[in-house]
Amino acid sequence: MAIKTNFISNGKKYYRINYDIDIDANGKRIRKQFVGKSRKEAEKKKLDYINKMNLGLKNAKNMWLAQTLKSWLFEFVKMSGNIKPTTFARYEGLYRNYIEKSSIGSMSLDKLESIQIQRYYNKLFKQGKSSNQINYVNKFLKQFLNYAVDCGYILKNPCDGKRVVIPKKELNEIVEKAVPVFTDEELSKILNSDNCKIKYIALFSLSTGMRRGEIIGLKENDIDYKTKEIHIKRTVATTTIFDNENKKSKQTIVQEPKTKNSKRTIPLPASLVGLIKDTIKIKKSEKLKAGDSYCKNNLDYLFLSEIGNLINAGNLDKTWSKFLNRLDIPHKKFHALRHTYATKQFENNIPLKTVSMLLGHSSIEITANIYTHVLKREKEKSIDILSYIKTMV
């Protein structure tokens, strides 16, 4: 039986239904058209539209994902006052690298479906992006789409629940990756090297497990010699900052620690007391040498640049690379000192929970996941109880 149609466009037959949605200021009817290959299809489109209107959903037909997400990011997230500059810079990078010119970025919100997002994630995975990186993209996109649901642009978040999965390698393809740590020989070279600022910063990380930004964010009064404690209250970061016109520039800033648990109090190792005094001597010497050009605004910070500015993370990385090269040590990121600290703690039977608290991780699971190989190695050292008992009989 032939399908009934009532409308021809570009030589093709369709069925068209008109629906009155409002009346304008002149009393004329405002109509919306629904076109399908059959009357049934056109009626379904009309019914879907009415249901959305009844649910309070807005017309998202011309709201493109990339365009709307950018507006949300710069006009809502940025202006909320609840986001760290480093986090916003990371979000902007995710938008620019993964959404702005992506295959899903040009789609309207009302057409965006889970399967399309899934295909995009699968494509990223095939291109060599890691599961972790795709997961960051998904969390970011999911956050925006929750906002879109709240605003009535879409009925459901296509990233919710089990609607999409993060592509992962098969179990037999997964290679356990050990975190980079310094050998005892390399540590000895660092410890016995000529005294300088970068050495002291490195030994601070090695002795406490503190992050780079936490160390250069330390103030002298954060160190309590009576209680033998270090109070970690802030972090210094070099990041991209967007001004009121959204022009970006690199700046070194002070902000809250990385997570809630990162704001913590840790023991002051006795071996650091003399090092701290030597660090203060270096600061005083640099201040005297720089004279009036020395910045007076940061004098309470323990580690500063030669002219009294907060230490730029990029400059510190360059100094660190030169320091390792001078000692003939293969390059490892500064963060490897923190990994070395944690590994040494586990090797000396310090409980997982204690190490997690010292490192300032947001959860004990994060610590366990990072140091899986170390914990496994330490477990293998456990004694064979039955064999032990037999030797006592």
How many other C-beta atoms can be found within 10 angstroms of the C-beta atom of residue 105?
17
Residue 244 — very low, low, confident or very high, per pLDDT cuts 50/70/90? confident
Say which residues have a Cβ less than 8 Å from residue 24's Cβ, sequence separation at least 6.
Answer: 30
Q: Which residues make beta-bridge pairs with 252?
A: 238
Residue given tokens 């190490």 in the structure block: 355
Distance CA 65, CA 109 (A): 6
Give me the mean pLDDT over the 202-221 stretch: 96
Question: Of the segments 116-125, 158-167, 242-251, which one has the largest average pLDDT value?
Answer: 116-125
Distance CA 84, CA 255 (A): 7
Amino acid identity of 102? Answer: S
Which of 59-63, 133-137, 386-390 is predicted with the least confidence, judged by mean pLDDT? 386-390
Structure tokens at 285: 């010497």
Distance CA 19, CA 61 (A): 17
- Percentage of residues in the chain having pLDDT higher than 90: 63
Q: For residue range 354-381, what is the model confidence (pLDDT) as tens digits?
A: 999 999 999 999 999 888 878 777 666 6
pLDDT at 20 over 70: yes
How many other C-beta atoms can be found within 10 angstroms of the C-beta atom of residue 281?
11
Q: For residue range 97-112, what is the model confidence (pLDDT) as tens digits?
A: 999 999 999 998 888 9
DSSP string, 164-218: S------GGG--PPPPP---HHHHHHHHTSPP-HHHHHHHHHHHH---HHHHTT-
pLDDT at 170 over 90: no
Q: What is the largest CA-CA distance in the chain?
A: 104
Q: What pLDDT score does 12 carry?
A: 86
- The torsion angles phi and psi of 24, rounded to 5 degrees, stand at -80, -175
Q: What pLDDT score does 298 carry?
A: 95
pLDDT at 173 over 90: no
Q: Calculate Rg over the CA atoms of the chain.
A: 30
Structural domains in the chain plus CATH codes: 7-54 (no CATH), 65-173 (1.10.150.130), 184-379 (1.10.443.10)
Distance CA 64, CA 68 (A): 6
pLDDT at 46 over 80: no
Identify which of 44, 52, 167, 161 has the alpha carbon closest to the alpha carbon of residue 109. Answer: 52
Which of 7-11, 142-146, 181-185, 244-248 is predicted with the least confidence, judged by mean pLDDT? 7-11
Give me the mean pLDDT over the 212-231 stretch: 96
Distance CA 233, CA 365 (A): 23
Distance CA 49, CA 109 (A): 14
Q: What pLDDT score does 41 carry?
A: 87
Structure tokens at 86: 């480093």
Output the CA torsion sign for 319, 322, 326, 332.
positive
Amino acid identity of 317? Answer: D
Q: What pLDDT score does 267 carry?
A: 95
Which of 13-22, 258-267, 329-338 is predicted with the least confidence, judged by mean pLDDT? 13-22
Structure tokens at 358: 């010292």
Structure tokens at 39: 């009357």
Alpha carbon of 94 to those of 58, 77, 149: distances in Å? 27, 14, 21
pTM of the model: 0.76
Q: What pLDDT score does 390 carry?
A: 55
| Coil, helix or strand at residue 264 | strand
Distance CA 250, CA 201 (A): 23
Residue 48 — very low, low, confident or very high, per pLDDT cuts 50/70/90? confident
Residue 59 — very low, low, confident or very high, per pLDDT cuts 50/70/90? low
Identify which of 74, 66, 18, 72 has the alpha carbon closest to the alpha carbon of residue 46. Answer: 18
Mean pLDDT of the chain: 88
Q: For residue range 291-349, what is the model confidence (pLDDT) as tens digits?
A: 999 999 999 999 999 999 999 998 999 999 999 999 999 999 999 999 999 999 998 88
Distance CA 363, CA 361 (A): 5
pLDDT at 353 over 90: yes
